[in-house]
Chain A
Amino acid sequence: MSERDKTHPYLKSLYAQLESRRIGRRDFLRTATLLGMSAGAAYSIAGISPGLISSALAQTPRKGGTLRIAARLGDIKDPHTYSWGQGAFIRQSLEYLTLTGIDNVTRPLLLEKWEASPDLKTWTLRIRRDAKWHSGRPLIADDVIWNLKRALDPKTGSATVGLMAGYLLERYDTGEVDDKGKAKFSRRLWDANAIEKVDDYTVRLNAKVPNLAVPEHLFHHQLFMLDPADGGEFKVGANFTGSYQLVSYEQGKRAVMQARPSYWGGAPHVQTLEFLDLGDNASAAMAALAAGQIDAWRAVDNSSLDAVKTLKDVNVYEAQTANTGAVRVRPEAKPFDDPRVRKAMRLAIDCKSVLDLGIAGLGSVGEHHLVSKSHPDYGPIPALQYDPGAAKKLLAEAGYPNGIDSEVYLKSAPAWESQVVQSMVEQWREAGIRIKMNPVPSTQYWEVWKKVPVGFTDWNHRPLGIMLLGLCFRTGASWNESGYSNPQFDRLLIEAEGKLDINERKAAMGKLQTILLEDGPIIQPVFRSIFSAYHKRVKNFTMHPTNYYWYKDVWLET
């Protein structure tokens, strides 16, 4: 089979659609790259510049120097189970198979390329021949398979299970019973051949159902490639493929990384990365930045933003994202079992004013269905208009002429969450929806987030709207916190996931979004921008919408 034959048959049709302007350039880019076209080729066909090459590249990068970054330094032993914070730090050393860029386009990283079968069930992953471990050994298929299998083993405790269970795993009865005598279930690969070794540099994923987003899933925040010889453990001295080597790690204090000259992607510019743990207190990071103790504060919260902007040697970077938070109710119990009540709660919210009051206008308005206009698969449907009168009427029709009372659980930090909920609660009160706020520490929130009748949950940016719909609203999905179950929705969702034609997919998304507006369990008023602050001597930094960051391209001015 020649190279040409391996390209996905749909690419030709995609190209024709671009030519006839049936689809936009961004739509073309994303789908074409997911189907295996290289980002460079896709960009040149679409006729747009990647916009990634910043003007700083016009200058000659300087080698050397120390970049100091504020970061929480928790336990780093098990990368496949990291929560967000640790991953952010270790990404300099460990790498993923793919990388979704700041333009929402997914590219190969440790892969050279991938190919999808016409039915989107078989994915062939081709590993870079030049990617080498620090030990000098090449990265091979056995390494990749070991990592995928380990992350997909429920015993490991990785959230990768939740992400890929739909097409790679099956639920089975373990044969054991718990204390209450109920059968214990677990998950395993749906087929012994689900992750298949083709040759030393080729791995094939054989899925049970089609999925277009496989390359995006390989960029899951925990899906690092570790050396099987290290047994899944990462520490000083462990093997890695990335651009920086961890040379010292003092938990809760400081970590030091040194540039790896032999990095397969070219040696990084900055010689030393020093991470300092300054705790969770925003004023400590702010003061350290002001005094030049650190060069980078990567998650500036909204409350510190104005203060940080006044620092004269600091650049503040913004990323407009689909990062959001939503109040969700559980439709299983009164009064939220009535769709009219749920819709009334949406009608009673003026999203624009939540945007202004809750996050000081630093974002964009939401439309109560988690899909953002910036998502390439946004279905163009009219937004629900703010109408407290209609909300009251709906409540009365549902049998609550005097309104309803409830309590919303939320995390006590970060501050923007309380402010958004506060402004929603004020607006609801006018429509007779009396909701009390119950802030709890975040660790406690995650213990009850799927149980409380009303809760406010934040959702990280994802490149596709449909990824969130699948995670949050599919019947029985592990992150379906509202317990929402709508057979019509589920059916449309599967249809939409398997749709290659972008316009058909958008139309299907429109139907899904409409269902959420009429019947859905969430009230989602805003999308937010995220911010980070870097000293002006840090050059060529670009901010990623997930706030992932890589320092291999950054350099320091003297």
Chain B
Amino acid sequence: MLRFVVRRLGQTIVTLLAASFLVFVLVESSPGTVARKMLGPFASTEQVQMLYESLHLDDPLMLRYVRWLGVLTGVVADPLGDPALKLGFRDQRGERYFGNFGFSTQMKQPVSDVLWERLGNSLLLAALAVAVIIPLALAMGMVAAINEGSVVDRAVTVLGTVLASVPEFASGVILVSILVVTLGWLPGTSPLLPSGRWPVYIQFILPVAVLALFVTAYVARFVRTAFVEVLATPYIRTAILKGLPPRSVIFGHAFRNAMIAPFTVILLQVNWLLSGVVVTEVVFAYPGIGRLLLEAALFGDIAVIEAATLVAVFLATLTQFIGDIGYMLLNPRIRL
């Protein structure tokens, strides 16, 4: 077990390094320089060139990457924080500390000032969505599987297929036009600030609903398939023939075995909920890490892109790790 954890940790670090380097190369190859973006379209070429040099954008790629690593680990200070540059970049935490993601060139403030709050918001959104998705998907999937072939089963399957094929940008707009514009029951955006007559907690309903609609239907179909398979196995037949009550057959015998496949799917979805909710966050102006990443990517704000990527990769490996532990608990035949 300990060996497993150590090995997994090693793999994670290698993955993080590889991902961060790839992002550096990709941002480098996209046209348009950060200096131009900072100064806007109307600045002269000379002005852009001056800023370009003071941002150290003309240093070789490898040098900038290694320097970025040094800043992150707290070995060196971010050169952008040099007061002589007059960029106005200052970090209250000090010049050197572990986990320093540097300065955002778009927001002109330390990445750490925005990252953690945004990440917290996204985690909250994901947690709320998961809290809705899991019970709902399990219930739908199990009911459908137990009544396989019935009207209920058909209804769940059809509904699931329809909902899982409506992309979030469409379902978001549809829900808004019905619940916000026509009925006026809910607020249309979720900036997580008291706005108008809407308290903050009500602003979670629509984004969570959009995420839940999409994912629940998808997971429910997996749950159904897995349950149908398990319910057809000889040991379940034996259990039923022994005269065990249905509740005991489902929860005592079928549940654990049937959960292995859906568990993987749920973990993958959790991972997606944490880093891939860009569309939902943008549609509802939700201040999460997805929207942050999108805006940073459009601007070419490398410090923010790197930070968000590292967080996403880390969360992905973390959910994978939890998944492995979970398999072991669900299926004792698996040894780590």
Interface, chain A (partner B; CB < 8 A)? 68, 74-75, 77-78, 81, 83, 154-155, 157, 159, 161-162, 178, 184-186, 233, 251-254, 276-281, 283-294, 310-311, 440-441, 443-444, 446-449, 478-479
Contact = CB atoms under 8 A, between A and B. Distances in A.
Given A279-B285, A279-B291, A288-B285, A446 B191 contact: no
Contact of A291 (B47, B188, B283, B300): B188
Interface residues of B, number: 49
Contacts of B291: 279
A277 B32 contact: no
Given A83-B40, A290-B184, 17 more contacts: A83-B41, A157-B39, A157-B47, A162-B44, A185-B46, A253-B193, A279-B291, A284-B285, A288-B187, A290-B176, A291-B180, A291-B184, A291-B189, A291-B198, A443-B32, A446-B37, A448-B32
A157 B108 CA distance: 16
Interface string B276-302: 000000111101000100010011100
A83 B188 CA distance: 28
Contacts of A75: 106-109
A254 B32 contact: no
A311 B40 contact: no
Contacts of A283: 172-173, 176, 283
B10 interface: no
A273 to B, nearest CB: 14
A448 B44 contact: no
A157 B191 contact: no
B176 A293 contact: no
Given A77-B88, A159-B42, A284-B282, A278 B189 contact: yes
B293 to A, nearest CB: 13
A254 B191 CA distance: 9
Contacts of B37: 443, 446-447
A45 B49 CA distance: 51
A284 B188 contact: yes
B96 interface: no
Given A283-B283, A447-B33, A252 B44 contact: no
A254 B176 contact: no
Contact of B107 (A185, A251, A310, A448): A251
A276 B41 contact: no
Nearest to B292: A252
Given A290-B181, A291-B180, A447 B107 contact: no
Interface string B173-185: 1001000110010
Contacts of B198: 291, 293
A444 B181 contact: no
Interface in B287-336: 287, 291, 295, 298-300
Interface of B: 30-33, 36-37, 39-44, 46-47, 49-51, 88, 106-109, 114, 172-173, 176, 180-181, 184, 186-189, 191, 193, 195-198, 282-285, 287, 291, 295, 298-300
21 contacts: A68-B195, A74-B106, A75-B109, A77-B108, A78-B88, A154-B46, A154-B47, A233-B88, A281-B282, A281-B285, A283-B283, A287-B189, A287-B284, A288-B187, A288-B285, A291-B196, A293-B188, A440-B31, A443-B32, A443-B36, A443-B37
A278 B181 contact: no
A511 B226 CA distance: 79
Nearest to A444: B32
Contacts of A284: 188-189, 282-285
B43 A157 contact: yes
A278 B44 contact: no
A252 B107 CA distance: 8
Nearest to B51: A157
A157 B299 CA distance: 19
B46 A251 contact: no
A288 B114 contact: no
Contacts of B31: 440, 444, 447-448
A446 B36 contact: yes
A159 B43 CA distance: 5
Contacts of A277: 191, 285
A125 B283 CA distance: 48
Contacts of A154: 44, 46-47
Given A441-B298, A443-B32, A447-B32, A162 B189 contact: no
A281 B180 CA distance: 17
Contact of B191 (A184, A276, A440, A447): A276
B41 A287 contact: no
A446 B47 CA distance: 14
B282 A279 contact: yes
A84 to B, nearest CB: 8
A288 B107 contact: no
A318 B56 CA distance: 45
List the 9 closest A-B pairs by CB distance, nearest first. Answer: A287-B188, A159-B42, A446-B41, A444-B32, A278-B285, A447-B32, A284-B285, A83-B40, A291-B188
A81 B48 CA distance: 12
B188 A288 contact: yes
Contacts of A81: 39-40, 43
Nearest to A274: B195
A82 to B, nearest CB: 8
A265 B46 CA distance: 40
